[in-house]
Amino acid sequence: MFRRKHSHDHPENDSAKQVAKVKELKSCIGALSGRSLVYCTDACLRRYLEARNWNVDKAKKMLEDSLKWRSTYRPEEIRWHEVANEGETGKVYRANFHDRYGRTVLVLRPGKQNTTAADNQIRHLVYLIENAILNLSAGQEQMSWLIDFTGWSLNTNVPIRTARDTSNILQNHYPERLAVAFLYNPPTIFEAFLKIIKYFLDPKTFQKVKFVYPKNKDSVELMRSFFDMENLPAEFGGEAKLQYDHEEFSRMMAEDDVKASSLWGLDTKLGHVKNVYSGAEVIPEPVLLAPPAS
């Protein structure tokens, strides 16, 4: 019944130590209010600690950087109508099914790239990451990515800077949110691209990237272990039909924006967001935003 303690025990193996670390981190960051308070749940602190191997000082620095980023980037204030044009081709969207573990699934189809402004592309992805988190099953904190390379070529290639900026946001501000990213049938040329990306990917994140090839038996088994084949689109070796209906998706996102406003306590401040999904008047007044770093 009692487990013998060893001097080399790590906190990740011991729930009492984990609870103590979360408590310690909580007292280190001090009193919080508003959205920071909503953000910094025990589960959130635990993710930052996990990302920094349970080192409280490092986790504190990482969390403080995230809170700073969130206060200027304001990911929870992005509304679908502001990024909807990025989603017209269905290059990134939330699937209508979860994986076997109850994780939200984001489908990424880089071959469907339809715009050139990197900042807007990243903003669109950040919106969808926030939306994926909003739609997690109870008790689940992570999402899965399915990346389909159909139609991908060097012409639709993501610039290295965009790939780096996206990786940084995901790693630094959404720690332990990505469970796994399946790269389905990537062309050989993509491997060269990935070698470059690997330089700014945390080894922990890189381990979550899985190459899946339809003719490889192990790959097929891996997909089966994560997904119900009836839900999984044929493009990823499943039996479902991959359909992206922009109007239908936009309607769903508009409903989710109301949920997000309520979660973040934005109902009163940005109440007009609820009913209006077009036009510039719903963008928060610039006075709310911190000045850009010089």
Confidence of residue 267 (pLDDT cuts 50, 70, 90): low
Among 100, 104, 177, 106, smallest CA distance to 146 is for: 106
Helices (H), 153-245: 160-173, 188-197, 203-206, 217-226
**Does residue 180 register a pLDDT over 80?**
yes
**Does residue 288 register a pLDDT over 80?**
no
Mean pLDDT on 232-242: 92
Among 213, 176, 216, 211, smallest CA distance to 194 is for: 211
Q: Is 96 helix (H, G, I), strand (E, B) or coil?
A: strand
Mean pLDDT on 282-286: 37
Alpha-carbon gap, residue 273 to 182, rounded angstroms: 35
Q: What is the pLDDT of residue 289?
A: 39
> Which domains does the chain show, CATH number per domain?
21-73 (no CATH), 80-256 (3.40.525.10)
Q: What is the pLDDT of residue 198?
A: 86
Report the percent of the chain where pLDDT is more than 90.
68
pLDDT tens-place string over residues 88-131? 999 999 999 999 999 999 999 988 999 999 999 999 999 999 99
Q: In this structure, which long-range contacts are made by residues 198-205, counting pairs with CB atoms below 8 Å and at least 24 apart in sequence?
A: 200/164, 200/167, 200/168, 201/167, 201/171, 202/171, 204/51, 205/167, 205/170, 205/171, 205/178
Q: How far is CA 128 from CA 2, 18, 104, 134, in A?
A: 44, 30, 11, 9
Report the percent of the chain where pLDDT is more than 70.
84
Q: Which two tokens stand for residue 105?
A: 């699934």
Q: What is the pTM of this model?
A: 0.85
Q: Which has more pLDDT, 232 or 191?
A: 232
pLDDT tens-place string over residues 58-97? 999 999 999 999 999 999 999 999 999 999 999 999 999 9
Q: What is the CA radius of gyration of the chain?
A: 20
Q: What is the pLDDT of residue 13?
A: 63
- Mean pLDDT score of the chain, rounded to an integer? 86
